[in-house]
C-alpha cells in the first residue's frame, strides 16, 4: 500500500549525509569537513578532495549550504572557503535522519540472521 501525499526525496548518499552532518553544528572549511566525515563514519567514508568539492558544488547549487566568512581569516595567511548549512539543508538533514531512524526501528522489529520460513 502506498502512503498518501507527495513522493519523498530520494535517500541521500552516505557521503552527502556525512558532509551536511559535519557542518550542521557550524561552518567548516574543506579539510575540516574531510576529517570530520572520516571520524563520523568511523572510517567507512574517506573522501578525496575531488569528491568533496564536487559534492560541495552540488550542495551549493541546491541551496543546502552556503559560503561563509572564515572565522580564522585574520589568524592565517591563507584564505579558506568555509561552508554553513542553510535552512533548506537543515530540513534535508532532519528528513534523512528521520528516515534512517525509522529504518532502524523497523529492523529492530524483525529477528535478523534467522533462516527463511
Task: Residue count of the chain, please give it.
Answer: 117
pTM of the model: 0.81
Comparing CA positions, the residue from 10, 81, 78, 74 lying closest to residue 49 is 81
Comparing CA positions, the residue from 39, 43, 1, 44 lying closest to residue 22 is 39
Which tens digit of pLDDT belongs to each residue from 6-46? Answer: 445 789 999 999 999 999 999 999 999 999 999 999 999 99
Cβ contact 82:26 at 8 Å: no
Sheet of 28-29, strands arranged across: 28-29, 82-85, 65-68
> Taking the chain, what is the end-to-end CA distance rounded to the nearest angstrom?
23
pLDDT at residue 74 in the model:
54
pLDDT at residue 115 in the model:
60
What does the alpha-carbon distance between residue 41 and residue 106 come to, in Å, rounded to a whole number? 22
Is pLDDT of 48 > 90? yes
Phi/psi of residue 30, nearest 5 degrees: -55, -50
pLDDT at residue 10 in the model:
81
- The mean pLDDT value for 88-115 works out to 90
Cβ contact 83:47 at 8 Å: no
What does the alpha-carbon distance between residue 55 and residue 84 come to, in Å, rounded to a whole number? 14
- The mean pLDDT value for 95-101 works out to 95
Domains and CATH numbers, the chain: 14-108 (1.10.10.10)
Amino acid at each position: 500500500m502506498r502512503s498518501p501525499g507527495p513522493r519523498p526525496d530520494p535517500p541521500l548518499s552516505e557521503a552527502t549525509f556525512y558532509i551536511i552532518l559535519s557542518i550542521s553544528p557550524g561552518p567548516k572549511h574543506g579539510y575540516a569537513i574531510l576529517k570530520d566525515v572520516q571520524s563520523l563514519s568511523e572510517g567507512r567514508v574517506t573522501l578525496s578532495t575531488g569528491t568533496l568539492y564536487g559534492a560541495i558544488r552540488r550542495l551549493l547549487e541546491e541551496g543546502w549550504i552556503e559560503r561563509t566568512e572564515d572565522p580564522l581569516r585574520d589568524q592565517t595567511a591563507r584564505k579558506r572557503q568555509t561552508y554553513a548549512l542553510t535552512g533548506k539543508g537543515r530540513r534535508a538533514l532532519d528528513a534523512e535522519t528521520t528516515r534512517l531512524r525509522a529504518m532502524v526501528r523497523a529492523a529492530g522489529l524483525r529477528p535478523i540472521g534467522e533462516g527463511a520460513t
